[in-house]
Structure 1
């Protein structure tokens, strides 16, 4: 086991040293859809030659990072075929710019039936206990129930016709109360005052007859 770990460490160091021996390159580019020439955003960009170091393009399909000559770069995105490119060697400008064209790919997945029940028995139990929604007649009955009408009356504002009726009723009550108050405030219009006056006249006549 120790021998295998040592061998693996040596291989990794050799790979790293070989990568360091190759010149560095500023690798940049833009990714397009090959059919519509529309940029493909957020594409995953993986350097297979540098321990699968990953980066990604921005929302405009642009990417830029440092790599080595002869590195293999893989581009992948959901709904598109993978594309790979090898950075050439002996570049004069120590920079490499490319335009990547990716082909859209439709993947048909197998049909999966998702059921909320673990077994047929559980389905039968849930179905028998299922409460069906009210039909139109039951909904109409609930809408015209007394409690529902009272609740709607509290929430709905009064319209113009209803306000005119309320104002007319209030004015009628006010005028009636005013007439009653005026009638009882005037002794000539008060029947109780007339009754008391007549009783006083009769009592006076009786007293006069007794004195005679």
Structure 2
């Protein structure tokens, strides 16, 4: 029995390279490169951006601007062609193809979508049209919205009640530091007797800088 087992193992090891080579050859023969072009069925116009997917494998490609594509698959695989505005097409690669390259032209049919009927009716009289046109609420365009957002009062309100960002906080801190160092070793002057400070206070009062938030 040991001799028979030894002969069987020896026979298997002798045939293993030939079996492996046959499997590799069969695997290579089953791979095929599909190259082609996607076109419309009625006018033979190239269709760009067509998605070509190998079903069940999660891989594929997209046709270029001239509708040309190329993908590697196995013989017997199913290719799915889909594009916006066209019906989906399914193509199964034949298993009896000779060689490892195949060229094809995939024709696609436009997918026509029918919308529900819309009936446009005019106003019964000219007076009703004028009344609806005058009383209609026309939304602001981009220029009007920008004009309202850049009004002086609106900008002042935003500047007063919006918190400062990091850059503004750093600048305010540096200004306070520079003011404290400027009067280092001496008494800080009082602006109560400064006419320029009083002029700035009066201008700020006229602008409404000291109004409460409820006024806005």
Give the shorter-chain TM-score range: 0.3 to 0.5
- TM-score, with normalisation over the residues of structure 1? 0.41
